[in-house]
Amino acid sequence: MAKLPVAMVGAGHVHAPGYLRWLSASPDVELVGVYDVDPARASELADSTGAPVLASVEACLSLARAAVVCPEPTRQFGLVQAVAGAGLALLVEKPLGVTPSESDALLGLSAKMPLSVALPVRYHPGATRLRRAAQDGSLGEAVAVWATNRNRFPGGWFADLSLAGGGCLLDHVVHAADLVGWIWGGSWASVRAEAGVLHHAGLPAEDTAMVLAERSNGMIVTIDPSMSRPDGMPGALDLTMRVWGERGVASVDIFAERVGVYDRTGRLRQELVGADMDGAMLGDWVRSVTADLSPPVPASEGFAATSLAFAAQQAVATHSAVRPV
């Protein structure tokens, strides 16, 4: 079987290097090149994988059958528009747009091209086991969910609203919201939220938030998406979910598998081991494109998860309950 020619269009997101490494190592992919608005960054990433640097989006379109769009969030929409007419299959980094109008437009574009959203957490074995337990009746009807997706403040473009498009609500709510939708189906009925800058003075958007949402079936979901962990904290990133059902309680800790590593100065860092969620997601996407199948994470599901983040932003602004789109 011929390799799938894939280009990376936009490489400013923190997940871009990992995606690029996987693509360059995959026996099923021909990585035709990397384009980014910052040529130096594109060159650095390309050098690490042996891929060529591409000078323009048009160069990507002429060489690739599929593209991974992975820039800073506010540059996503323009790049997707730039490739929209070429018929390439797309894997687009979350969130799906940084405003409701962008998200709605991207959802519309997905009717014209195969567009999958990069939401890898649903590929974690713990997430798939939780979904199985929810769907086979082991837990009974789910009554409440407590989820967290916390981290330290990453710095870089996260401190620039013109690139990030928002704060922790936009960046972290989406993963937990997608898991809830993927596991239980249904829709969001209402959301309340509060947020603020509590840990890093001077940020243009919130680093701390709490979201309380209700599903259409009455299930209550609470999400802590805060970038509240201390700088330098080993194992700062988490994504956890605890579910209370009529027949039992279940928990999942996505980043629990870690190895502590001490450097020469005695400083401890935590290296993630175990499941390769990104690789599983990328492999599924490549197979879907090669076999001309439906996108594994359809834009409609990325839209639903991102819509909860937008509604939470509105709830913070109005201090009232908001119904997500």
pLDDT on residue 271: 79
pLDDT digits (tens, 9 = 90+) for 189-226: 999 999 999 999 999 999 999 999 999 999 999 999 99
pLDDT per position as a tens digit, 68-87: 999 999 999 999 999 988 98
Q: Quick one: what percent of the chain has pLDDT higher than 70? A: 100
Report, at the CATH architecture level, how domain 4-113 is classified: 3-Layer(aba) Sandwich (3.40)
Say if pTM beats, i.e. exceeds, 0.85: yes
pLDDT at 96: 97
Domain locations in the chain as residue ranges: 4-113, 122-275+306-318
Q: Would the pLDDT of 240 be above 80?
A: yes
Give the per-residue pLDDT at 268: 78
pLDDT of the residue at 154? 92
Is the pLDDT at 1 greater than 70, yes or no? no
Instruction: Check pLDDT > 70 for residue 53.
Output: yes
189 class by beta-carbon count within 10 Å (0-12 exposed, 13-18 middle, 19+ buried)? middle
Q: What fold is seen in the domain 122-275+306-318? A: Dihydrodipicolinate Reductase; domain 2 (3.30.360)
Report whether pLDDT(128) > 80.
yes
Determine the average pLDDT of the residues in 264-277. 82
pLDDT-based confidence at residue 231 (cuts at 50, 70, 90): confident
Q: State mean pLDDT over 16-36.
A: 96
